[in-house]
Amino acid sequence: MTEWTRVREERRIFEDEAVLALDKPVGVSVMGERHDTDLVTMARAAGEELFPAHRIDKVTSGVVLFARELRFHGDLTRQFNRRTVEKAYLALTRTRGVPETATIDLPLSVGRKNRVRIAANRADIVALPADAGHSAPDGGGMLWTVPAAKTFPHVRTYPSITRIARVWQGDQHTLLVARPVSGRRHQIRVHLAWIGHPIEGDPLFERAPVTRTFLHSWQLAYDAAWDGGRRRFTEAAPGADFWAALDPAEAAAAAAALAGFTAPAAF
């Protein structure tokens, strides 16, 4: 059995004539890895050609969608580009105090060493409660934003919005669902870190992390043009390693809260 055969069999969520949805393990890239292997290269070496409809970071686990033939690829990528695909991620932070719902509306830019950052100084980020007369885009109980006059004028900026909802809060940790409205590189990771709630184990913001990055691509919904345009929903339940930062009692409580989670209307 090849490595690809094992991954395909153990990690397959859904498959038909057009697409293959996998639950990507942590530590494996979707494609384009220079020195290590990646899923596309592994598949090609085993005689299967796959075309990624999108990417998730190497440190992120969870749902990733591939077209099995090139003729299906264009429509899928257009859906991601047009932001008609619904995406939901799970993030575990070693912080407390995240609002029940919130919107992070902070532009991104690329800084030194190709690092993604907010296109403003951290001190200029403001948190505005909705009940103070400041409405978050698409609702949301809190809005993190930066005044337009404080956005860096000397770099290219990328408008970026992430909606978050609190699922569970323990003694030290918080479990969040994050929905990226825009789909920028490292968006969720940078947005959460810059509002003071970095994802635990994230090497972008934690020196020499000793755990995995606790970010998981949880749900994906898209239109299957080859199946009469039906809306497809795909979910990858987080594995045991996703709860490893919590003690057993808290892990059970967080998993139970997730099982009973209903997205707020504003989310």
Indicate whether 132 pLDDT > 60: no
Residues 120 and 102 reside in one and the same domain: yes
C-alpha distances out from residue 195 to 166, 192, 202, Å: 15, 5, 15
Residues 40 and 66 reside in one and the same domain: yes
Q: What is the CATH number of the domain that holds 59?
A: 3.30.70.580
Q: How far is CA 104 from the centre of its chain?
A: 14
Report pLDDT for 140.
55
Report pLDDT for 38.
94
Residue owning tokens 């909802």: 165
Report pLDDT for 136.
52
Query: pLDDT, tens digit, for every residue of 188-198?
Result: 999 999 999 99
* Structural domain containing residue 196: 87-219+238-258
Residue 231 within any structural domain of the chain? no
DSSP state of 95: -
Report pLDDT for 142.
94
Indicate whether 134 pLDDT > 60: no
Residues 213 and 250 reside in one and the same domain: yes
Percent above pLDDT 70 for the chain: 95
Indicate whether 185 pLDDT > 70: yes
Residues 74 and 201 reside in one and the same domain: no
Residue 116 within any structural domain of the chain? yes
Integer-rounded Cα Rg, in Å, for the chain is 19
Q: Looking at 82, 102, 117, which one is the last position of a domain?
A: 82
Q: What is the CATH number of the domain that holds 113?
A: 3.30.2350
Backbone angles phi, psi at 2, to 5 degrees: -75, 165
Q: How many CB atoms lie within 10 A of CB 74?
A: 13
pTM of the entire structure?
0.94
Average pLDDT, the chain: 93
CA–CA distance, 103 with 145 (Å, rounded to integer): 9
**β-strands 12-15, 161-169 pairing:** unpaired
Report pLDDT for 112.
87
Residues 245 and 124 reside in one and the same domain: yes
Mean pLDDT across the stretch 38-60?
Answer: 96
Query: pLDDT, tens digit, for every residue of 44-54?
Result: 999 999 999 99
Q: Looking at 36, 59, 82, which one is the last position of a domain?
A: 82
